[in-house]
A and B are shown apart, each in its own frame.
Chain A
């Protein structure tokens, strides 16, 4: 039984082996689990954590790209970047709604993000230092997100799967748009080409780290695979991403910053050099170059906006009172 470790995990007496087996059978039959269905507490908690992290990543991810909206080098690019960053906010909104179906509120999740309890993707703790970073993020980071998220469209939890279908469509549009920005630079002036190469040098390794630790070192994987929250392992997804990206870089005439990258005929994929896991863990644990600034910016927006949210609530309350009083006054 996959979930023995979680029996009684939250003091729930009804998570008998029979209950867990029946749940697993539904998952195995590819039935979608819906918000009002019985589910193991461990399943619920895993999803809350994963969907919450995903939502936070979309929201924090608005910051590095938002950093270039006011400097986009043409009006067409400015509009496209604004629309992209807005899409990411929309993804955050669907994902918070999906998580809310599991009994947490957006406010709770926001508090957890701001006080550092909740995590978000390590990639957004790197700074965006040139216009080329905007193209490179679209190409690599949205590209990596798609690899991760396409299988999530078949996730066993219905609301998450449905949110992902909508999100994935937009992410692939972002990926194509990002690639097109880099292409323009790669075919541009020597300075533009150098800018593109520099961005690739900085974003390549963090992008392939986005898939998480190697399978052998990944904690939550087995149970998530059994529950069909996850469909592929970290290493499988990373491999797919690398195999898709190498020819794209070649086409652009840019060099991926990994001297060990080479085609392995036998496995039908690329081998890559060693990943700097010290850097990965340090960034995941909140020591990335921009980690403090990102949370500070989110906290500032939240704190500065408190009076607006309070006013909206107060107004709604006053309106309700006035509406209820109106018919009485008329009598």
Chain B
């Protein structure tokens, strides 16, 4: 079941992040971002769907994407703490997305060599999307870091706030030792290099926290995730067995 668990971790990361980004829809700082953020949300929700679908098949108990997304509670969700962090402001949202994409891009690139054909298929689509997310959010981190005093302060605040969630990206989790999926720890140098390149242009300093947080993979989340899932699952759970 290691593959099932590992796919579920990845799927939860993508769905929870996509849900968070989708909360901006109609409320963005400018119309262009009201188009760009749903785009990014759609990309990661699309990947989540592919991963849930495959996880359900691997499990072989007939659970589909919606059973996995809508009928598990917060203790059963295995997403990274990073992706469940609230949107806060545009600086936090862009940085959270950049941190995730700067990890997932090398991850999916490595997964293109997976012996598992379905994983290769998912990676092929996702790798291009993650390159776009790095570009789009990286440009914003640079604009905000360099822009005004206020935007630079907000950008630094975001860097400080999210620093404690970075290490968890590189923890192996359920995929440890699986041939089908890449090792996570090995991707750290590339992640660091991407962030350094962008931060240098943005005039930002990387912060390493001496007190990194983790526990998402064991269902030990912040308090926000339960509210997010309660909202997300409300209609689905109010009508057991209904189709939509």
Judging by beta carbons under 8 Å apart, are A297 and B232 in contact?
no
Q: Would you call the interface of chain B mostly helix, strand, loop, or mixed? A: helix
Query: Which residue in B28, B65, B151 is a CB contact (below 8 Å) of A75?
Result: B65
A244 to chain B, nearest CB (A): 25
Interface size class of A (residues with CB under 8 A): 35 or more
Q: In whole angstroms, how far apart are the Cα atoms of A75 and B70 in the complex?
A: 9
Tell whether B19 is near chain A: CB-to-CB under 8 Å: yes
B140-164 vs A, CB cutoff 8 Å, 1 = contact: the mask equals 0011101110110010000000000
Those of B53-102 within 8 Å (CB) of chain A: 65-66, 69-70, 89-90
Judging by beta carbons under 8 Å apart, are B239 and A79 in contact?
no
The residue of chain A having its C-beta at the shortest distance from the C-beta of B232 within the complex is A70
**Chain A hits for B185, CB < 8 A:** none
**Known: A82-B45, A311-B144. Contact between A89 and B31, CB under 8 A?**
yes
B231 to chain A, nearest CB (A): 5
Those of A285-331 within 8 Å (CB) of chain B: 297, 300-301, 304-316, 318
Judging by beta carbons under 8 Å apart, are B28 and A301 in contact?
yes
Judging by beta carbons under 8 Å apart, are B242 and A189 in contact?
yes
Judging by beta carbons under 8 Å apart, are B244 and A314 in contact?
no
**Chain B hits for A276, CB < 8 A:** none
Stretch at the interface among B1-9, B34-42, B109-117, B169-177: B34-42
Name B's A-contacting residues (CB within 8 A): 15, 19, 22-23, 25-35, 38-39, 41-42, 45-46, 48-49, 52, 65-66, 69-70, 89-90, 142-144, 146-148, 150-151, 154, 228, 231-232, 234-236, 239, 241-244
Ranked 6 nearest A-B pairs via Cβ: A305-B29, A311-B147, A311-B151, A308-B29, A62-B26, A86-B38
Given A75-B65, A192-B242, 16 other A-B residues pairs in contact with their CB atoms under 8 A: A70-B19, A70-B22, A74-B70, A75-B69, A93-B31, A93-B35, A301-B26, A305-B90, A307-B148, A307-B154, A310-B148, A311-B143, A311-B151, A312-B147, A314-B148, A315-B143
